[in-house]
Amino acid sequence: MVHTTMEGSLFEPTLYIVKGMCILDNDGNRILAKYYDKDIMPTAKEQKAFEKNLFNKTHRANAEIIMLEGLTCVYKSNVDLFFYVMGSSHENELILQSVLNTLYESVSILLRRNVERRVLLDNLDAVMLAFDEICDGGVILDTDPTSIVGRAALRTEDVPLGEQTVAQVLQSAKEQLKWSLLK
C-alpha cells in the first residue's frame, strides 16, 4: 500500500491555494512578503534568493504570469512596486490571478490610488492588515477589496482636530485629563 505512482493530474481539493504573496520595490528588495507553506522556502535566505530570481525574470517583461521553481507566480507592477502571488504549479491559475487582483485593488484603495513605494511605506500598517485579511495561512480569506479595506483602513487618530465632532474632542480631552491625574 505504498504509493509510488504520481497522483492524478486533477487539482487537489484543498483550500491551501496561496503559497506566498509579496510586494517588492523596483530594485527587487522586499517590502512585504508572506510565505504560507512550511515545505516551500522555509528560511528567509531561500525566500530572498527566490525573490531576487523572480524579480530578475519579471521586472522587464510585463507578462502577468511565470512558472518558476515549481511555482506559478502571477504578478502586476505599478510605478516602483511589484506585486506577486505564488501558488503551486498545479493550481488553477485564474484563482491566483483573482487573489492578485484583490491584493492590488485593496492596496490601491488604501493608498488612494497612489500606488508607489513612498506612499505604501507611509501606510505600511494598513497594508499589513490587508495582507492578513486577504490570506490566512494559505487560505483565501476574502476577495472583496471594499470589505478588506473596510477592515484594514481604520483611521481614528488621524482625523484632524477640525473634522472631529465636539463629542469626540471632549471624550479625548477627558481621557487625557484622567491619565494625567492618575500619574
Query: Shortest gap between Cβ of 108 and another protein (angstroms)?
Result: 18
Rg (CA), the chain: 21
3-state DSSP assignment of residue 29? coil
Q: Counting beta carbons within 10 angstroms of the beta carbon of residue 107, is it exposed (0 to 12), middle (13 to 18) or buried (19 or more)?
A: buried
Query: Shortest gap between Cβ of 150 and another protein (angstroms)?
Result: 9
Looking at beta carbons only, is 112 or 122 nearer to another protein? 122
Place of cell 534568493: 49
Comparing CA positions, the residue from 48, 46, 61, 45 lying closest to residue 22 is: 48
- Residues in the site for another protein, rule: CB under 8 A? 1-2, 4, 6, 8-15, 30, 32-34, 44-45, 47-48, 57, 61, 63-70, 74, 89-90, 92-98, 118, 121-122, 124-126, 128-129, 132, 136-137, 139-144, 147, 151-152, 154-157, 175-176, 179, 182-183
Comparing CA positions, the residue from 88, 81, 52 lying closest to residue 67 is: 88
Query: Shortest gap between Cβ of 19 and another protein (angstroms)?
Result: 14
List Cα–Cα distances, 120 to 22, 104, 116, in angstroms.
13, 12, 6
Looking at beta carbons only, is 105 or 136 nearer to another protein? 136
Q: How far apart (Å, rounded) are the C-alpha atoms in residues 180 and 178?
A: 6
Neighbours of 17 (CB within 10 A): 20
Query: Shortest gap between Cβ of 147 and another protein (angstroms)?
Result: 7
Query: Shortest gap between Cβ of 114 and another protein (angstroms)?
Result: 12
Looking at beta carbons only, is 5 or 113 nearer to another protein? 5
